[in-house]
Structure 1
Amino acid sequence: MQGKKILVTGGTGQVARPVAEALAADNEVWCLGRFGTLGVADELAARGIKTFRWDMDDLGADTLKGLPEDFTHVIHSAVRRGEDGDFTAAVTVNSVAAGRLMTHCRTAEAFLYVSTGAIYARQTLDHLYTETDPIDGKAEWLPAYPVGKIATEGTVRAFGRVLGLPTTVARLNIAYGPGSYGGVPMLYFKRMLAGEPIPVPVEGQNWCSLLYTDDLVRQVPKLWDAATVETTLVNWGGDESVGITDCIRHMQELTGVTAQLVPSKVTRETYQFDPTLRCQLTGPCEIGWRDGIRRTLQVMYPELVQAGSDG
């Protein structure tokens, strides 16, 4: 993409920041956020990114006053996750923010909303989830989170049609890579380093569709291209089905750090996606998950994994 004016929310996070930084090379990129972390706004500015302070929790009608309205593309990744357990706030804040953002940017060529695969009704561990699978919004690890996402998907669909704004809803799987906290695989690795037990299913293993940062960044323009006024819905994950236990064992092989795997009836729920539709829209991924994990560890823990090492 070149010469576009792009708006990014959640631009300090695992997903949207690398997108913003990559697109800033050839486009005018703005990031919205609270920028509560000291120095992060300056870091974005150093990459040529303009920043605008926006607090989603502030439901005032003029929170976007002063922000340009002539953006050509928007990626909305910011979210109130609901760690406080307040379901009403999760629904209200996320839905109102999305509606106001879409209204403000109603002349854009495309709007991309980053949703989550955590909204799917849980089936078997090895079920391959498609875009037509039922949803229920249940997640023991963060109950309010998927409820807020479902509500916001509805808002985004409605405003896309009412405003005539081409929209894509991308239900994200697990994004990871050498930025921010590294994604869920690196959360597991931190537990390995601390010698903490890691719950795994008593039988079988949890499956997911890991999406490496470089592939995620490459796919964003394609997801914008796929946007429609009726809303294009797509599962956004990698090409490969990845067993969480296999992933942990791979990190163990690469680093020599022992993983304390403990069979348990309660584990963190993950979902593997059928990549057929996403591949049709974006083309295949370029980074296999084993290589992606190695690259991530090499950057974040270079003392444990040497460049070019396979374990």
Structure 2
Amino acid sequence: MTTLPTGKRILITGGTGQVARPVAEALAEHNDVWCLGRFGAEGVEAELAGKGITTWHWDMDDLSGDSLKGLPEDFTHVLHSAVRRGEDGDFNAVAEVNAVAAGRLMEHCRTAESFLYVSTGALYARQTLDHPYTESDPVDGVADWLPAYPVGKIATEGAVRAFARVLGLPTTIARLNIAYGPGGYGGVPMLYFKRMLAGEPIPVPREGQNWCSLLHTDDLVAQVPALWRAATTPARVVNWGGDEAVGITDCVRHLEALSGIEARLVPSDVTRETYRFDPALRMSLTGPCRVGWRDGIRRTLESLYPEHVRN
């Protein structure tokens, strides 16, 4: 497994989120880490500062780039995880804001050794539920559960590829699967568990089950340095998920066994679609994961909902 870098100046966006915050906190111990964002949640900026992280107010909606003025330009590594997801359904705004923000950031950090953009597997054209998606599979940006989201990611990947070539900036585009772990809200598995606690229905396919490649926080953090080292010009695209194929229904059943709480699985035409990744390319770059999904789910549940874990 990769050793975390030391003595670097690192810029991270989305540093208050499920993906980037654990990375920022892990790297801050031996590096000069800056987090960019709006920091709307009360106390979060002070929490990051308490970890030795420098914060800088940056709004992705600022298409002029003025909010980057005065920010140092000598970062050695960049992790761009911030995203406008598009819950309002404004496809044009999602495409423009995300693509322009990424371009502005890459231009500002054009001398960096490596730029890592966090994309998504949700942009792949849907095939069979258990299809192992590879980096060369076709994309279409269709996601009934959040329609604008993958469209914004496709637009931003285009901008990132263009700026990587124009600036000669070594870049990795990592298409993330489902990240989960004890930090933040716990990831998608814990969203399902909250539904279980509330007795709410969990939509599942009418036949079969959705499959994914769960990636525990510990493995995500450990793999970031390898993805930085893998950066190339033109940009390298890699699927970023765990080693194991995981059925979502199987995951929910595991949560039932751990907690004794019953899940209301309801067959539906519209579900939160997930994607199983072929891990071959990512494993060649980062090595194998260390956290198995069953143990990872148990540890996450014990951390966030200890009162609901069976002895």
Give the TM-score band, short-chain normalised.
over 0.9
Counterpart position of 1:64 = 68
Secondary structure of the corresponding residue to residue 107 of structure 1:
coil
Counterpart position of 1:137 = 141
Distance (whole Å) between structure 2 residues aligned to residue 88 and residue 263 of structure 1: 33
1:172: how far off? 0.2
Distance (whole Å) between structure 1 residues aligned to residue 25 and residue 274 of structure 2: 28
Given candidates 109, 114, 117, the residue that maps to 1:113 is 117
Counterpart position of 2:32 = 28
Secondary structure of the corresponding residue to residue 115 of structure 2:
strand
Distance (whole Å) between structure 2 residues aligned to residue 47 and residue 270 of structure 1: 33
Contact map agreement 2:86 2:146 (CA 8 A) in 1: yes
1:17 pairs with 2:3: no
1:172 pairs with 2:176: yes
Distance (whole Å) between structure 2 residues aligned to residue 218 and residue 94 of structure 1: 26
Distance (whole Å) between structure 2 residues aligned to residue 6 and residue 266 of structure 1: 40
Given candidates 155, 158, 162, the residue that maps to 2:159 is 155
Contact map agreement 2:213 2:277 (CA 8 A) in 1: yes
Give per-residue Cα distances to partners, 1:136-177, cap 9 Å, x unaligned: 001111111100100000100110111010000000000001
Counterpart position of 1:267 = 271
Q: Size of the alignment, in residue pairs?
A: 307
What is the percent sequence identity of the aligned residues? 78
Distance (whole Å) between structure 1 residues aligned to residue 65 and residue 208 of structure 2: 50
Give the CA RMSD over aligned residues: 0.8
1:93: how far off? 0.4
Moved over 4 A (4+): none
Secondary structure of the corresponding residue to residue 170 of structure 1:
strand
Distance (whole Å) between structure 2 residues aligned to residue 60 and residue 102 of structure 1: 14
Given candidates 208, 216, 224, the residue that maps to 2:220 is 216
1:60: how far off? 1.8
1:180: how far off? 1.0
1:87 pairs with 2:99: no
1:267: how far off? 1.4
Distance (whole Å) between structure 1 residues aligned to residue 53 and residue 276 of structure 2: 34
Give the aligned residue type for 1:244: I
Give the aligned residue type for 2:298: R
1:192 pairs with 2:196: yes
Distance (whole Å) between structure 2 residues aligned to residue 141 and residue 202 of structure 1: 16
Contact map agreement 2:9 2:31 (CA 8 A) in 1: yes
1:242 pairs with 2:246: yes
Contact map agreement 2:145 2:270 (CA 8 A) in 1: no
1:266: how far off? 2.1
1:33: how far off? 0.1
Distance (whole Å) between structure 1 residues aligned to residue 63 and residue 257 of structure 2: 48
Give the aligned residue type for 1:225: R
Distance (whole Å) between structure 2 residues aligned to residue 116 and residue 152 of structure 1: 11
Give the aligned residue type for 1:127: H
Give per-residue Cα distances to partners, 1:168-192, cap 9 Å, x unaligned: 0000000001111111000000000
Given candidates 65, 69, 81, the residue that maps to 1:77 is 81
